[in-house]
Amino acid sequence: MFCHLRPVRRLCLEKISPHWFLYSRSLSGAEAVNALRPFYFAVHPDFFGQHPREREVNENSLKRLSVYLENLQKPGFKSLKPTQLTFYVRETDQNSSDGQEPFSTSGFRAVEFTLHTRDLLSTVLDILNSCSLSTEHLQSLNTHVHSQPLRQARRPPDRPIKWDKSYYSFTGFRDPDEDLEQVSRVETTLISWLDHNEKSAVKKLKNSLPLRRELDRLKDELSHQLQLSDIRWQRSWGIAHRCSQLHSLGRLAQQNLEALKTAKGCTLIFTDRSGMSAMGHVMLGTMDVHHHWTKLFERLPSYFDLQRKLMLLEDQISYLLGGIQVVYIEELQPVLTVEEYYSLLDVFYNRLLKNRIPFHPRSLRGLQMILNSDRYAPSLHELGHFNIPALCDPASLQWFILTKAQQARENMKRKEELKVIESELIQASTRKFSLEKLYKEPSVSSIQMVDCCKRLLEQSLPYLHGMHLCISHFYSVMQDGDLCIPWNWKTGEATK
C-alpha cells in the first residue's frame, strides 16, 4: 500500500542532506573507539591525578558512557533512555582556544550533555561536538563523514518533511517529532527514579545481606588477628569482591602469620598496587599474588624508617614557611606511595633552601598546605588549605601566601562549621528515613552534601526505609543494592 513512498522518501532525503545521507555509513565498535581518542585523551582519569574529585566524576561518567556504547551495538535494540553525562575536559591544543566553557585555573572545564542517539556515528559526533573537539579525523576512518562544526552538525534541514503519522505506524520508522517531544519532557527526578528502581534495589540489597555479614565477620577477625587499626578499600568494589580479597589475606595469614604481624597498628588498604601510601597505610595490590604481599610485609620496617624521614622533612618545610603545616589529604590528592611523596617533598625543600623566603617564625601557624606535582600557580582551596606546586617560584609563593593568609583562616573556620552541620544533617536524614547507611563519594564536597541533605529532609521518601544511600553525581543502583543519587537531584514528579 505504501510501497510508492520509499523512492519518494529517498529522493527527499537526498535533497535535504546529500553529503550526510549519501556519504556516511555505520561505525563499528573499534572505529568508534578510534574516533573518540581525542575525547578520551581530554577526559581520561589518569590525567587528573592531582584532582581526585574531577577524576572520580570522569571515571563514573566513562563507565556510564561505556554501557551506553555497548547497548548501541547490541542487535535488535530499539531505543535508549537519554543519558546525561558530566566530564571535566582538559585543555588540549585543539580545544584551548575555542572551548565554549571557560577553563578553570587548574586547566580544565566542566561539560554536561545528554545522549539520545540511535547509532554509533551520531553518538561519536555528539560527544566530540559537545566537548568542542574536532571531527576532522573521522575522514581517516574511511567513513566518508564530512566533518562539521557543532552548529552545522546540528542544523535542522532547510525544508523539513512532515510525514503523515500513518507512515511511521506502517513502516516502523521512528517519528522524529515524537523523539524530540520525548527528550524535552524526560527529566529524571528523585521521586520518579526511586519509584522505578526501588524494587530492584531492595532485591539486590536482600541478596547481598549474607555476604555483608560475612564481610563484617572476616574484617573483624583479621583486624583482631593482625592487630590492625582498620581495613579499607580504595575503590568501590562489590561485597563479593571484597570478601574474596579478605579470604585471600586470611589464607596468607595462615601460611605466614609472623610476616604479617609487622603491620601491627597499621591501616590496610586494598588498592591497585602494593606498597606503603603517603599516609603510612599498607597498600595491598589486588592483582598481586601472595608472594608479593609477603615481600611487602617483610619490607615494612624499612618503610617505617622512610616514613619517619618524611615526617621530619615536613617539619623542616614547615619551619621555612613560617609554621604552615604540610598535610596530605587522601580525599583531595592522588594516591602516592611513601617513596613518591618523599621525593616530591625533597624537591620542594631543596628549592626552598636555595631561595630562602623571609617568613616570620610561626607567623603562619594554624594554616595548612598540600604539595602537588602540578605546574600550575599556587591556589587557595575552598576548604582553607593552600595548593602548592612543588616547582613554583618561591618569591611568588611568598606573596601569594601572605596576601591569602586571612582568607585561608576564614575558609578553615568555615570548613569546621560545615563539618559539624554535615554530620548533624547526615544523622538527621538517617533517622528520618530509617536508613541503614548514608554516605557520600569522596568527590562530593561538604557544601554539596549539606545542600543535598537539607532538601532531602523536606521530602517524604518511604522508599528509603532500610536502604544504603550514597550521595554521588549520578543515579545508579549498585550491584549490592546501594542507591546512588546525585547531590543536586531534581524535585517533582516526572511529566507523563
The yes-or-no verdict on residue 147 having pLDDT over 80 is: no
φ/ψ region of 265 (left if φ > 0, alpha if ψ in -120 to 50, else beta) reads left
Shortest CA distance to 469 belongs to which of 488, 479, 459, 484? Answer: 484
Overall average pLDDT of the 31-53 stretch: 79
Instruction: Report how far residue 296's alpha carbon sits from residue 290's, in angstroms, rounded to the nearest whole number.
Output: 10
- Over residues 170-223, the pLDDT tens digits come to 455 555 555 555 444 456 789 989 998 999 999 999 999 999 999 999 999 999
Residues 235-284 pLDDT 10s: 777 898 899 999 999 999 999 899 999 999 999 999 888 999 999 999 99
Would you say residue 93 has pLDDT above 70?
A: no
Unique residue bearing C-alpha cell 547481598: 208
pTM: 0.64
The proportion of the chain whose per-residue pLDDT surpasses 70, expressed as a percent, equals 78
465 grid coordinates: 526505609
Per-residue pLDDT of 384-416, as tens digits, reads 999 999 888 888 888 899 999 999 999 999 999
Rounded distance between C-alpha atoms, residue 176 and residue 333, angstroms: 46
Bigger pLDDT: 172 vs 15? 172
Separation of alpha carbons 144 and 440, rounded Å: 46
CA atoms within 13 A on the CB side of 248: 18
Rounded to the nearest 10°, the torsion over CA 38, 32, 475, 236 is -70
> Which burial class, exposed, middle or buried, applies to 27 when counting CB atoms under 10 A from its CB (0-12, 13-18, 19+)?
buried
Does residue 76 register a pLDDT over 70? no
User: Is residue 465's pLDDT more than 90?
Assistant: yes
State the chain's mean pLDDT as an integer: 80
Sign of CA dihedral 162, 165, 170, 173: positive
More confident residue, 296 or 496: 296
Residue 208: its pLDDT value, please?
93
The region of weakest confidence among 9-13, 159-163, 413-417 is 9-13
Asked if pLDDT for residue 16 goes beyond 80, the answer is no
Is the pLDDT at 22 greater than 50? The verdict is no
